[in-house]
Structure 1
């Protein structure tokens, strides 16, 4: 056996073999058990890239729902490298064929030979690439295309909004120009789906040269960690760089309206994970939370409508919401987020 066997992480689910296998598995490996497939899916969705299990040890259920679960694992860029070992209470040619079709790593039939199973798991982990490398993320489609119905909806809504709001946009631009020196539109590089970089537009709400002051204001960061480690996300509380009118347009999210143009030209969608500044995205490239970039980038998203503006929101909470959306986004979820966006647009906290 290899010396690092106790570091092998197994995600286990079995109603028939738990009492028989868990004592041996727990003494040999790092085992996390869940009662059923739904719980397995929920557990995996909560895991970061480097906290993924090495092996999924799963009992074949009577309805063969496990094979749908395996199919979803194999289709995921982040999970497809996991070793999957199936346990079957009975010998069945149908199960064997399904296991081969779905390319599981091994299939054991009752009675389970415990020592052989443990040796086999160690062998599979030792000689197979398990956890996806960050290089795999470079294979994410950089030319990600929004599904046609979603894109059509984005064009219609953003175009209509730009036309309807044009008088307001002109008035806001004029006030910004009169209040302080600098460009009316603040343009920055942001990173969206598949790490694609694009120009991101906002009404300028800060004084000129505000970006150069960011490093000196790190103590105000909403996401500042308790152990003083460098935070990935940056959102300042009571930011002193914000102008008086800038605070007003931020409170009511008016500063975000130019991003409707980003949506209209296809840089991002109405709903998705917020595109990140380069300095944040560069840290996430080597971080376990890269999963957020596998979902569409958007003007509004899950964390904006659920936790935005709340001073007690942690960096981990935001990353978990981003990861959840990347894995679960759908048309109906997008509609729910859009319906909650207007009430959430007014911020109670000055962040």
Structure 2
């Protein structure tokens, strides 16, 4: 494992990590230049320098065919929003801010290596043959209810499509890649409720993230996994209405028909969220069905400040305990949640 200069941290890591320490970025580059595909380190830990040269070095790593799959962990001695944003842009695997418990880093490094061996990159998964089969009863229930639902709400689907087209330029449906059960990646459908440049604006709106405070309180140097913006300025006039009424979620019934999702399950995550898994605890949520609604939605009713840890517990509990009757209970309790949906 190569580093720029994290001597104290490295001295606390287990001997089994087989550490190789480099004091400068130039030394690290020379070290990597002399490695073969069989001797490259699994992980590189880099201490962020005041001039930000580490980011230029990371860019070089990403451009090198031999190095681009290396796991990169960045450590900073101070809070710097620009550095965190740059690290996210470069897809750095983790960004820690000193001080933090060394146990967190050890757990994270072990998980990253294990995750890399099993699922090297999420982009590769798009072409992977990863199949998850729902229990037959759950699948038949999904098809029956979704088909009936589409028939019943077809007038709403048509009217909403027309209103979105008249309100702003752009497609009626918003389609994005989501990570569902077993790390399967699929096209996720919603009615478009935001301006067409919404994705590009997300990075500049991190201060509005509902989960940001929770990540800061833990003082672990980790980015917030989930993203939910308060008073999101990217939402259109029609978008505000269809979000409050959950009409924007109706196209997901077609995802259910296709078999990408179930009516009840854990919400599928956008790629940028799924790529920031911080421990093997998070991976358990992907072992349950992906769903239109779920335990987290009904448990968070009326709570504006539900934490990441609480959401993880709900997702993991459902992945272990889901059943037909449990699904039916969640579906029944979802209706009042929709009727009293919070305005974020």
Q: Secondary structure at the match of 1:344?
A: helix
Aligned position for 1:53: none
Larger displacement relative to structure 2 (261-270 or 308-317):
308-317
* Alignment CA distance shift 1:169-1:309 (3 Å): farther
- For the pair shown, the structure with the greater C-alpha radius of gyration is 1
Alpha-carbon offset, residue 309 of structure 1: 5.8
* 2:139 aligned with 1:151: yes
1:105-144 map, 5 Å: 133-134=114-115, 138=119, 142-144=130-132
Matches within 5 A, 1:281-292: 281-284=274-277, 288-292=281-285
Gaps of 5+ in 2: 1-11, 13-109, 121-127
Shift of 1:142: 2.5
Q: Compute the displacement of 1:283 (Å).
A: 1.1
> Is the CA contact (8 Å cut-off) linking 2:245 and 2:341 kept in structure 1?
no
The list of structure 1 runs, each at least 4 consecutive aligned residues, that deviate by more than 6 angstroms after superposition, is: none
- 182, 185, 205: which is aligned to 2:193? 205
1:237, CA displacement in angstroms? 0.7
Match of 2:227 among 214, 234, 251: 234
Task: State the alpha-carbon separation in 2 of the partners of residues 194 and 141 from structure 1.
Answer: 11
The alpha-carbon deviation at position 207 of structure 1 amounts to 1.2
- Give the match's secondary structure for 2:175: strand
Task: Tell me whether 267-276 or 337-346 shows the greater mean CA deviation.
Answer: 337-346
Mapped to 2, the partners of 1:205 and 1:347 lie a distance apart of: 19
Size of the aligned set, in residue pairs, is 225
Q: By how many angstroms is 1:230 displaced?
A: 1.3
Within the candidate set 167, 171, 185, 2:173 is matched to: 185
Distance 1:308 1:134, change over 3 A: farther
Q: 1:1-351 counterparts in 2 under 5 A?
A: 133-134=114-115, 138=119, 142-224=130-212, 225-226=215-216, 227=219, 229-284=222-277, 288-308=281-301, 310-351=303-344
Q: Deviations over 1:131-169 (max 9, x none)?
A: x94368659992001111111111110011111111110
| Greater alpha carbon shift after TM alignment, 158-167 vs 302-311 | 302-311
CA separation in 2, counterparts of 1:157 and 1:143? 23
Given that 1:310 and 1:348 are in contact with CA atoms closer than 8 Å, whether structure 2 keeps it comes out as no
Quick one: distance in 1 between partners of 2:331 and 2:341? Answer: 19
1:327 to partner: Cα distance: 1.0
SS at match of 2:134: coil
Answer yes or no: is the 8 Å Cα contact 1:309–1:350 preserved in 2: no
8 Å CA contact retained: 1:271, 1:334: yes
Cα distance in 2 between the residues matched to 1:309 and 1:234:
18
Q: Determine helix, strand or coil for the equivalent of 2:234.
A: coil
Question: Residue 244 of structure 1: CA displacement?
Answer: 1.6
Alpha-carbon distance between aligned partners in 2 of 1:256 and 1:172, rounded to the nearest angstrom: 12
Unaligned 5+ segments in structure 1 are 5-128
Contact 1:177 1:184 in 2 (8 A): yes
My pick for the range that moved more, 150-159 or 225-234, is 225-234
Secondary structure in structure 1 of the residue aligned to 2:281: coil
SS in 1 for 2:160: helix
Take 2:332 and 2:179, find their aligned partners in 1: how far apart are those partners? 25
Q: Which moved more, 1:302-311 or 1:238-247?
A: 302-311
Q: Report the CA distance shift for 1:347/1:207 in structure 2 as closer, same or farther (over 3 A).
A: farther
The structure-2 alpha-carbon separation of the partners of 1:287 and 1:212, relative to structure 1 and needing over 3 Å to count, comes to: farther
Q: Aligned with 2:177: secondary structure?
A: strand
Note closer, same or farther for the CA distance 1:287–1:219 as it changes in structure 2 (3 Å cut): farther
Distance 1:207 1:323, change over 3 A: same
Structure 2 Cα separation of the partners of residues 198 and 348 of structure 1: 27
